[in-house]
C-alpha cells in the first residue's frame, strides 16, 4: 500500500498529517509512505527526518499521488490533490462534513472513497482515534495563554511589599475537552475559575479541577448523542443569556467553547453582557470558526469594543502549536489505520461501527447518514 502525505492547503495550517515517528512505524510494517517536499517544515519536521524514517520525498503532486492508495491530510486537500487522486484511492482527513455537506457531494463527484477523522463515533474503543479531542485539548490550553497575554493584569494572586494583587477571575463557557483544558490551565496560572455547561453531568469534572460550577435550571438536560451538547430551545437560550450577563460582567476573562455539531455556534455572550465587562477584560471565542459564541466576535480577528473589552476570534488554534498538534493527530490517524488495515492494505469493513461511522463517501456514493440527511434537508453551503 502507498500512503501519500501532501502539503496542507489552508494558508493558516502549519500541521502535518503524519510525523516521522509514525511514518517509521508504517514503513516497518511494509507500507510505502510518500511525503510532499516541505509538508512538515512548519511543524518542525524537515524533509531529512522523513527520509530517515524511510519515506520517499516527492517533489510535486503528480509524483506524490502516482498509484497512491491512501491520501492523508489534516484539513481538506487542495483541489489539485483531490482532482489528481485515482478513483480507487481513499482520502482521510478532518473533512468537516456537517459544516458543509455540499463539500461531501463535491468529494463524491471524484468517485473516490473518503473517511473523516471528525466523524469517528465517540465510543470507548475509538477514544484513541478521536482527533477532535486531541486538537481541542491544545485549543483550550492556547486560549488561556492568549488571554493571559492580552489581559492587563496578573492571573495569580501576588503579595508584595507594595500590596496584594487579587487573582484574575476566569469564566469558561462549555466544559468539553477544550473547556476542561482551559479550566486546568487557568487554575495552574493561579486564576479563580468558574465554568458553565448545559450538561450537568460535567459538574464533577469541573469541580475536580478546582473550579466552581455555575448552575441554571433550563428544564431539560443539555446533553445530546455522543456526549456532545445539544441545541437548546429559544426559551432556554434566552434564560441562559440573562443568567450569563451578571457572571460575564464580573469576569476578567471569558473563554467560550460551546459547539453543536453541524450547527452555528450558540450565541452565549450578548452585547449587553459584553457591555457589563470592565475595560481591559478579554473574551477568547474558540467557537469563532462556527460563527462565535459572542455576538461581536469577528472570526480570525482581534477587536476592541468602545468599552475597552478585547475579543479574540482567532481560528484554528491547534495550528499555532503545530509540532505537538501534529504528533497527537498522527497518533490518532495511526490508531485508525491499525483498525482498518490488514496485511499492509486497507480493509474497510462497513459492518464495523467505527469504519461505517467514519466513512463519508464509498466509491463516489455518499454513505454517511448525518450528511445524507443534511443534504436531503437542503442544508446551506
User: Are 305 and 232 within one domain?
Assistant: yes
Choosing from 69, 103, 118, 122, which is the catalytic residue? 122
* Amino acid 132: pLDDT: 95
Do the domain assignments include residue 129? no
Give the SS3 label for residue 271: helix
What is the sign of the dihedral through the CA atoms of 362, 368, 369 and 372?
negative
Are 56 and 64 in contact, with CB atoms under 8 Å apart? no
103 is catalytic: no
188 is catalytic: no
* Amino acid 290: pLDDT: 92
Choosing from 84, 110, 133, 251, which is the catalytic residue? 133
* Amino acid 263: pLDDT: 83
Q: Would you mind telling me the total number of residues written for the chain in this entry?
A: 381
User: Are 315 and 327 within one domain?
Assistant: no
* CB-count exposure of residue 284 (10 Å: 0-12, 13-18, 19+): buried
- pLDDT bucket at 230, cuts 50 / 70 / 90: low
Q: Is the pLDDT of residue 22 over 90?
A: yes
Angstrom distance (rounded) from CA 296 to CA 365 = 40
User: Are 182 and 220 within one domain?
Assistant: yes
Distances, alpha carbon 67 to alpha carbons 6, 165, 273, in Å: 14, 63, 56
Angstrom distance (rounded) from CA 17 to CA 5 = 7
Q: Is the pLDDT of residue 40 over 90?
A: yes
Q: For the whole model, what pTM was predicted?
A: 0.91
Angstrom distance (rounded) from CA 349 to CA 91 = 16
* Amino acid 149: pLDDT: 97
196 is catalytic: no
Domain CATH code at residue 102:
3.40.50.720
133 is catalytic: yes
Q: How many domains does the chain have?
A: 2
Angstrom distance (rounded) from CA 52 to CA 68 = 21
User: Are 220 and 274 within one domain?
Assistant: yes
User: Are 29 and 61 within one domain?
Assistant: yes
User: Are 200 and 346 within one domain?
Assistant: no
Are 318 and 135 in contact, with CB atoms under 8 Å apart? yes
Q: Is the pLDDT of residue 174 over 70?
A: yes
- 239: Cβ contacts below 8 Å, ≥ 6 apart: 216, 218
* Amino acid 221: pLDDT: 55
- pLDDT bucket at 219, cuts 50 / 70 / 90: low
127 is catalytic: yes
Indicate the residue among 271, 301, 319 that finishes a domain: 319
- pLDDT bucket at 381, cuts 50 / 70 / 90: very low
User: Are 160 and 101 within one domain?
Assistant: no
- Side by side, the strands of the sheet bearing 192-196 are 212-214, 192-196, 169-173, 253-256, 282-285, 310-312, 302-304
- The cell for 353 is 461501527
Indicate the residue among 319, 344, 366 that finishes a domain: 319
* Amino acid 198: pLDDT: 85
Do the domain assignments include residue 11? yes
Do the domain assignments include residue 128? no
Q: Is the pLDDT of residue 166 over 90?
A: yes
Do the domain assignments include residue 119? no
The 10 Å CB-count burial string (b at 16+, else e) for 208-220 is ebebebbeeebee
Q: Which helix (H) or strand (E) holds 204?
A: helix 203-208
- The cell for 329 is 493527530
Q: How far is CA 156 from the centre of its chain?
A: 28
Choosing from 29, 62, 127, 363, which is the catalytic residue? 127
Give the SS3 label for residue 70: strand
User: Are 301 and 333 within one domain?
Assistant: no
User: Are 165 and 307 within one domain?
Assistant: yes
* Amino acid 202: pLDDT: 95
Choosing from 21, 128, 228, 323, which is the catalytic residue? 228
User: Are 244 and 327 within one domain?
Assistant: no
Do the domain assignments include residue 122? no
Q: Is the pLDDT of residue 330 over 60?
A: yes
Angstrom distance (rounded) from CA 169 to CA 152 = 13
Domain of residue 348 covers 2-112+322-376
- Side by side, the strands of the sheet bearing 32-36 are 56-58, 32-36, 2-5, 70-72, 90-93, 113-116, 359-362, 365-366
* Amino acid 380: pLDDT: 52
User: Are 327 and 180 within one domain?
Assistant: no
- The cell for 327 is 504528533
User: Are 62 and 186 within one domain?
Assistant: no
List, in sequence order, the alpha helices (H) in 76-128: 79-84, 101-108
Choosing from 15, 50, 84, 130, which is the catalytic residue? 130
Q: Which helix (H) or strand (E) holds 254?
A: strand 253-256
Do the domain assignments include residue 117? no
Do the domain assignments include residue 50? yes
Do the domain assignments include residue 124? no
Amino acid at each position: 500500500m502507498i500512503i501519500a502525505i501532501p502539503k496542507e492547503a489552508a494558508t493558516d495550517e502549519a500541521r502535518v498529517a503524519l510525523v516521522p515517528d509514525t511514518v517509521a512505524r508504517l514503513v516497518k510494517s511494509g507500507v510505502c509512505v510518500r511525503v510532499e517536499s516541505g509538508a512538515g517544515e512548519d511543524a518542525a519536521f524537515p524533509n531529512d527526518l522523513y527520509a530517515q524514517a524511510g519515506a520517499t520525498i516527492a517533489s510535486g503532486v503528480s509524483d506524490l499521488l502516482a498509484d497512491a492508495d491512501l491520501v492523508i491530510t489534516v484539513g481538506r486537500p487542495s483541489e489539485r490533490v483531490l482532482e489528481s487522486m485515482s478513483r480507487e484511492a481513499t482520502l482521510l482527513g478532518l473533512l468537516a462534513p456537517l459544516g458543509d455537506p455540499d463539500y461531501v457531494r463535491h468529494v463524491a463527484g471524484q468517485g473516490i472513497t473518503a473517511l473523516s477523522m471528525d466523524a469517528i463515533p465517540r465510543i470507548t474503543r475509538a477514544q484513541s482515534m478521536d482527533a477532535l479531542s486531541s486538537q481541542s485539548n491544545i485549543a483550550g490550553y492556547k486560549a488561556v495563554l492568549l488571554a493571559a497575554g492580552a489581559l492587563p493584569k496578573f492571573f495569580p494572586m501576588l503579595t508584595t511589599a507594595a500590596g496584594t494583587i487579587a487573582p484574575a477571575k476566569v469564566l469558561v463557557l462549555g466544559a468539553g475537552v477544550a473547556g476542561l483544558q482551559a479550566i486546568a490551565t487557568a487554575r495552574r496560572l493561579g486564576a479563580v475559575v468558574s465554568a458553565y455547561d448545559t450538561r450537568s453531568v460535567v459538574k464533577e469534572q469541573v469541580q475536580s479541577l478546582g473550579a466552581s460550577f455555575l448552575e441554571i435550571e433550563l428544564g431539560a438536560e443539555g446533553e445530546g448523542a455522543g456526549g456532545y451538547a445539544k441545541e437548546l430551545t429559544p426559551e432556554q437560550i434566552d434564560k441562559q443569556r440573562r443568567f450569563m450577563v451578571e457572571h460575564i460582567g464580573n469576569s476578567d476573562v471569558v473563554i467560550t467553547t460551546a459547539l453543536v455539531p453541524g450547527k452555528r455556534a450558540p450565541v452565549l455572550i450578548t452585547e449587553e453582557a459584553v457591555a457589563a465587562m470592565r475595560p481591559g477584560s478579554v473574551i477568547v471565542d474558540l467557537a469563532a470558526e462556527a460563527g462565535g459564541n459572542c455576538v461581536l466576535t469577528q472570526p480570525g480577528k482581534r477587536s476592541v469594543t468602545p468599552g475597552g473589552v478585547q475579543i479574540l476570534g482567532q481560528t484554528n488554534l491547534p495550528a499555532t502549536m503545530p509540532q505537538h498538534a501534529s504528533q497527537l493527530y498522527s497518533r490518532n490517524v495511526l490508531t485508525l489505520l491499525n483498525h482498518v488495515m490488514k496485511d499492509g492494505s486497507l480493509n474497510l469493513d462497513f459492518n464495523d461501527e467505527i469504519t461505517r461511522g467514519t466513512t463519508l463517501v464509498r466509491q463516489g456514493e455518499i454513505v454517511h447518514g448525518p450528511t445524507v440527511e443534511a443534504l436531503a434537508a437542503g442544508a446551506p453551503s
